[in-house]
Structure 1
Amino acid sequence: MTFLPLMDTLLETITSTPNNSQRQNFISLYAEICDWKLLVFLHFLWDILGYLSTLSKIFQRKNIQISDIDPIIELTLNKIQQQFLDYDDDERLP
């Protein structure tokens, strides 16, 4: 996942916008996009998008039972946790 095309477009817009008020709005947007917390969140969201897509497709089936929902969500959460969270020997986050 790359944000370079978005950032390039935003920087081009900042430099080519004659309206000072709009330019300040674009600069604020650029600063918010560059925040490390947002970037970490977006990368994590990108990483789990496949799991969420699969979960969404399962929920769109016509024959899904209400009793199947909780186990399917738990399975998906467990897969995400196993792949992305680092547990110690006591099954706790360090």
Structure 2
Amino acid sequence: MKFKCNRNKLHEVITNVSRAVPAKSNIAALEGIKLSLSGDTLEVTGYDLAFGIRSSINVESEDSGELVVNARLFAETIRRMSSDDIEITIDEKTEC
């Protein structure tokens, strides 16, 4: 999965969606956000079994895929990046 987008827009979407993500949970996946890439659209979803938030942004990509990442760590990583446009590549061979 590979896409390029504006860092500020991505951080804003992650921050909004993270409101639905619990800080601690017995289910590790609930502490994460789901990234779903399909063509030029990245959909970001946060969910806590009772409440969910879904948002999407336009990105530059011809790829597709899905991934769950830790919401807090991902938001902090994106926030600390220095450039305005960022490119994210996720190796599908990596197992979590």
* TM class, shorter-length: under 0.3
Larger strand share, 1 or 2: 2
- Higher gyration radius (CA): 1
| Alignment TM-score, normalising by the size of structure 2 | 0.27
| Alignment TM-score, normalising by the size of structure 1 | 0.28
Q: Which has the higher contact order (CA 8 A, sep 6+)?
A: 2
